[in-house]
Structure 1
Amino acid sequence: MAKILCVCISKERKTCSQNIHECEADLQGLVGDVHYGMGGRKQVSLLPYEKVKEYFEQSEEEFRYGRFGENLLVEGINWNSIAEGNRFRCGGVLLEAVRIGAGGPASDAYKGEKVCTPMEPWFVFCQILEAGRLREGEIILQQR
């Protein structure tokens, strides 16, 4: 069963995010996050715990939530099965995957920074379709 391990926000772009444990998610994004109210569809970023854990096991860094600027660290989803258009029900919040992966060779969005880069292929960006509160420990139901 998939669940949210942490809920994080960033106050500045291209920085690590801070685990705040729960957050209001409305149709503008995550309240308090640097991307809140900026328009666009990439309002919430998800990362797989399994890949983040693997990164920390292979590096000398100490494990910490929000290290890659993610909003939600998620455990138990088959990341290879996610496609754009998939939806995720997290309590009262409904998210829709709008982009798989960040940056990459065709983009210089993260050029030269080291926050997101190690996890670029694993980011799933979502739009909030139904508002509510996101909380640590919340079960996630994937809908295709």
Structure 2
Amino acid sequence: MKIAIGCDHVGIILKPVITEHLMQRGITVIDKGAHSDTRTDYPIYGKAVAEAVVSGEADLGILICGSGIGISITANKVNGIRAVVCSEPYSAKLSRSHNNTNVLAFGSRVIGSELAKMIVDAWLDSAFEGERHQTRVEMIADVEKEQ
């Protein structure tokens, strides 16, 4: 599995922790930046990770900014992305099993490193259930196509 990861200058504190955690799980990590704590703009990285996922360069994506909100909004503007912001594992699990999310976002000002790892694990360890949820995911895709 390959996961693209990206963050802004605020998320830079959690990115190496999550990168190491993913590598310990045997996952290949594709780092889309940022690479320092120099002030930068989260849309750059939200777009880069989302494009890596929809192009097939990565299977999934993880985004980190201060809250997870702005970077996930950006990712969700890319057709084919279903990004979710999570601050606890239960929502991460349900986002995968019910909504087939392909990008996970969280905020470095909202959660700490241990909780971030638990959220990532809950998300990765869940599988899309399909069935009634498949119809809903297709409905989301239809809304996207209308735009």
What TM bracket, shorter-length normalisation? under 0.3
Name the structure where helix makes up a greater proportion of residues: 2
Give the TM-score of the pair, scaled to structure 2.
Answer: 0.24
What's the TM-score, normalizing by structure 1? Answer: 0.25
Between 1 and 2, higher relative CO (CA 8 Å, sep ≥ 6) is seen in 1
Q: Which has the higher strand share?
A: 1
